[in-house]
Structure formats: structure tokens, C-alpha cells
Amino acid sequence: MNKGLLKRFLAVSLAIISAFTVMTNGKDYISNQTPVIAISSEAQANAEAIKKAQEEIDALEKQQSQLDSQINDVTADADAEKAKQESISKQIDVVEKTIQKYDDKINQYQKEIDELNKNISKSEKSIAQKETEIEKGIENFKKRIRIMYIAGSSSYTDILIGADDFYDMLMKIELVKKVADHDNSMIDNLVELKKQYEAEKKTLEENKKQLEEKMKIQKEEKDKQQKQKKKLDDLYSQSEAAEERLRADAQAYKDNKAKLDKEQRAFEADLQKLFKEQQAIKKKEEEERKRREEEERKRQEQLALQQQQSQNGMSNSGNASTGVTTNNSQGSTNNADHGYSDKSQFTWPVPGFYHISYGVGWRWGAYHNGIDIYSDNIRGAKICAAASGTVIRVESYCTHDYGKYGSCGCGGGYGNYCIIDHGNGYWTLYGHSEGITVSVGQQVQQGDVLGTVGSTGYSTGPHLHFEIRLNGIALDPQKYV
């Protein structure tokens, strides 16, 4: 090999090596190792909690079966009817406990669903990144092949024949070997990256399949829970004590109708006033937020313009841009939950107590704006936030905490109550509490305790009056919780 050919070979070799400096050497450019699928301690705890809840449900349903037999085995005498009512009372308690256990089980499945959604989201991002890296690697390898084709290839035979001396031959062989090693490493890395990509795709599909199965199971559990709630309502309809309470409530309302209607109208007017006040506050906050954003945008534009002018040496040649825009985007986040959707953002406000004694609608000639959640032993039960939000009203001065057949006038008839603003126009109201334990302006999370169930205001017995409102208009909570 003459000196001209040697120079050409060295130049081509150096060009080849330089061409691949854009790629990370060795295996460093492989972004992440394939995630290891392992059962976390939290997943194990969830599985154990689900198993335990199912065991308790089985035991409770066995009790239900025994009590059902006692309830259905009725003769016409007074003693038998008394025994039936006692069995109904016991059955009500057992069914409420069963519904609570279904709640526990459903919540555990929800945790698993949330975790799967999170893993799926991470996998999708990792897979997308690896796709980009593989495409980039293939493109760089194409460039490598083009360079080799243009430069031509030098075999070991050519090197041996063209070498000036033994040292020259070794130097050339070493150079060719390094280029070949780099090529092999690049191919190996692409193959490894492809394996990781395929493994993650497989994991993703498995997680999606698990998600579908968990969602199906959770829906089945919710259906079973709904049957238990229907059974609870049926039991209350058979309960003479419950029937007597309903008759007494109706008579009490008729006896005090004029006063109660006036009280309700005043409360509604006050509530609408509060709604307008809150809307005005939010409008002002939104305007202030936009003003600050606009100021920041202009400040960024000015900074960008100053930097450009500085780079152009304060030139007036017209090269400076007069339409500089800045991109403050942080990137859009896809919050899609990969197929899972619950029927609303709200959860049940009194865990463990599920009987609705009165729903939304016309009742005794007046419109009832919420649901009344009642049970014989509900007094003192925890009232929980149905969704996260901000407490915007609290009334907790009523001391008339007992069943009454007329309003004490406190809280517009609602006694001790609070209202939470959940954003997007949604409010929830919780009435007749023993005492509210949160304060105005406090941020609460879904499930946080707001107070306990009592019988303040116009209340014939301990219960929770629960409302969901959208832009001030009362909705039917049974469609949301």
C-alpha cells in the first residue's frame, strides 16, 4: 500500500469513527433496563385485604341466610310477628356490615386498578422513548454503511500486501479492528435495545389484560353490593318501626308546613347568594391569574428580545425579531386512565350506613333537595368528604341535638352543617351533624372526616342530609354516589 492509499485509509477510518460520536459509546445509550415484574408489598397487602374482606362477606352472608329463614318462617300470631321484627332488625345490621365489607373490597380493587394504570402509563412512555432510540440507532447505522460504501473496504489481505513494514501493518490492523469492534458494539446495542422494547411491550400488554380483569371483577363486586343495598331498602320497608317513623315524619311536616317552607325558602335564597359570591371570588382570582400570566409572558418576550439584540450587537439592520414568542409549555400530560372510569368523582359520605330513608323529589308537598341517610344506630357515625375540595361554609352552633317534630330554626333547618366546593361548579352539603370539625377555607381530601351524624335542626331523628349541587342546582346524589 503506497503512502497516498494509507492516508486515504486513515482519513476514511477517522471519518467513520467521527461519524459515530453522535452515538453514545458502548451500552451507555440504552436508556433503561427492562422493568422487573415483581409483586410489591403493597400489592400483597391488597390481595390479603381482599381475601380477608371476602371471608368476612361469606360469614355475613351465611348469617343473612339464617335470618332470612327466620323472617320468612312466619305464622299469624303476635309472638311470631314480634320475632320477625327482631330478625328484621338484626338482618338490617348484618346487611349494612356486608355492604361495608363490599366497600372495603371494592376500594382494594381500586388501589390495584390505580397501580396498574400508573404502571401502564410509565411503560408507554418508556416504550415510546425506546422506539425513538431504535429509530435513531438505525438511521446512524445507515449513515455508517453509506460511509463504508463510499470509502470502499480494506480487507486484512490488502493491509498485509500494502504494509510498508511490520509496525505499519500492526497499526493498520489495530485501526480496522477498532472500527469493527465499534460496529459490532453498535449492532449488539441495537439488538439489546430491541429485546428490551419487546419485553416492555409484552409487560404492557399483560398489565392491560390485568387491568381489564380487575375492572371486570370490581364491577361484579359493585353489582353484588347494589343487590345488598336493595335488600336493605326492602328490609326497612318491612320494618314496622321504620314505617311508624315515616308516618310520624309526614304528620310532623304537615303540622309545621308553613313555617318549614318559609325556612327552606330563606335557606335557598341564602345559598344562591353564597353561590354568586363564590362565583365573583373565582372570577376575580381567574382575572388575576391571567393578568400575572400576561405580565410574565411580556417579561419573557422582553428578555428574549434583549438577548437577541445583544447577540446582534445592538444592530439596527432589521435582523432582530419583532415577534418573539416563548414556549412555556411543560408538555401535555395524558391523564387518561386506560379504560377505567367510575360513575363520578364522589364517594359515599357515611361509610357503613347505606339506607336512604328519603330521596330527592317532592315530599309532602315540598321539594326535598338531597338524600337522608338513616339507620337505627347511625348517631355518632363519621361524616366523610365525598370528594376533595375547599370548605366554604360551616354552621356549628346548634345545641338542639335530638329528634323533634318542629324546627329549632338553626342552620335554616339543617342544624349543624357544612358545604364543600369541589371545583367545576360542584358543591356538597352535609346537614344535621352533632358537630362539624372542619373550618371555612380548609382544604379537605376525599374521605376526610367533617363531623359526626346527629339530629340538629329540623330532624325527627339522627341522620345525614346529603346534597350534591352543580352551579347551585340540586342534583340527585343517588346518581353520583
Residues 152-188 pLDDT 10s: 555 555 655 565 665 666 666 666 666 666 777 777 7
Residue 381 to residue 434: CA distance in whole angstroms: 10
Residue 70 to residue 238: CA distance in whole angstroms: 14
Query: What is the length of the chain?
Result: 481
129: which residues sit within 8 A by CB, 6+ positions away?
A: 31, 32
Cβ-contact 187, 144 below 8 angstroms: no
Q: Is 220 left (phi over 0), alpha (psi -120 to 50) or beta?
A: alpha
* Greatest alpha-carbon span in the chain: 123
For the chain, what is the mean pLDDT?
Answer: 78
pLDDT recorded at residue 87: 85
pLDDT recorded at residue 313: 61
pLDDT band per the 50, 70, 90 thresholds, residue 304: confident
Report the pLDDT averaged over residues 446-463.
Answer: 93
Task: Tell which wins on pLDDT, 45 or 388.
Answer: 388
pLDDT digits (tens, 9 = 90+) for 99-120: 888 888 888 888 888 888 888 8
Distances (CA, A) of 434 to 351, 410, 455: 17, 13, 7
Amino acid at the residue 258 = A
Task: Tell which wins on pLDDT, 451 or 133.
Answer: 451
pLDDT recorded at residue 364: 74
Q: In percent, how much of the chain has pLDDT > 90?
A: 18
111: which residues sit within 8 A by CB, 6+ positions away?
A: 42, 46
268: which residues sit within 8 A by CB, 6+ positions away?
A: none
Q: What is the helix (H) or strand (E) element at residue 429, kind and residue range?
A: strand 426-436
Task: Give the three-class secondary structure for 453.
Answer: strand
Cβ-contact 382, 449 below 8 angstroms: yes
pLDDT above 90: residue 316 = no
Task: Tell which wins on pLDDT, 74 or 198.
Answer: 198
Task: Give the three-class secondary structure for 250.
Answer: helix
Task: Tell which wins on pLDDT, 439 or 3.
Answer: 439
Judged by average pLDDT, the poorest of 6-15, 57-66, 225-234, 317-326 is 317-326
Distances (CA, A) of 351 to 187, 236, 448: 59, 18, 12
pLDDT digits (tens, 9 = 90+) for 343-381: 568 999 999 898 898 888 877 777 788 999 998 889 999
Report helix angle 41-72 to 78-151, nearest 10: 150
pLDDT above 90: residue 415 = yes
Report the pLDDT averaged over residues 283-298.
Answer: 85
Q: Is 7 left (phi over 0), alpha (psi -120 to 50) or beta?
A: alpha
pLDDT digits (tens, 9 = 90+) for 374-406: 988 899 999 999 999 999 999 999 999 988 877
pLDDT recorded at residue 167: 60
pLDDT recorded at residue 455: 93
Residue 436 to residue 442: CA distance in whole angstroms: 12
Task: Tell which wins on pLDDT, 146 or 399.
Answer: 399
pLDDT recorded at residue 375: 85
Q: What is the helix (H) or strand (E) element at residue 362, kind and residue range?
A: strand 361-363
pLDDT band per the 50, 70, 90 thresholds, residue 75: low
Cβ-contact 24, 61 below 8 angstroms: no
Residue 426 to residue 422: CA distance in whole angstroms: 5
pLDDT recorded at residue 17: 45
Asked whether the CA dihedral 127, 129, 132, 133 is positive or negative, the reply is negative
Q: Which residue, among 412, 461, 471, has the nearest Cα to 434 in the 3D structure?
A: 461
Residue 205 to residue 309: CA distance in whole angstroms: 53
Q: How far is CA 458 from the centre of its chain?
A: 37
Residue 108 to residue 334: CA distance in whole angstroms: 24
Task: Name the grid cell of 7.
Answer: 492516508
b/e for 81-109, b at 16 or more Cβ within 10 A?
Answer: eebbeebbebbbebbbbbbbbbbbbbbbb
pLDDT band per the 50, 70, 90 thresholds, residue 332: very low
pLDDT recorded at residue 371: 94
pLDDT band per the 50, 70, 90 thresholds, residue 194: confident
pLDDT digits (tens, 9 = 90+) for 420-448: 999 989 999 999 999 999 999 999 999 99
Cβ-contact 83, 75 below 8 angstroms: no
Report the pLDDT averaged over residues 250-268.
Answer: 83
pLDDT above 70: residue 198 = yes
pLDDT recorded at residue 153: 55
Report helix angle 240-255 to 78-151, nearest 10: 90
Label residue 403 exposed, middle or buried (CB < 10 Å: 0-12, 13-18, 19+).
Answer: middle
Q: In percent, how much of the chain has pLDDT > 70?
A: 75
pLDDT recorded at residue 111: 86
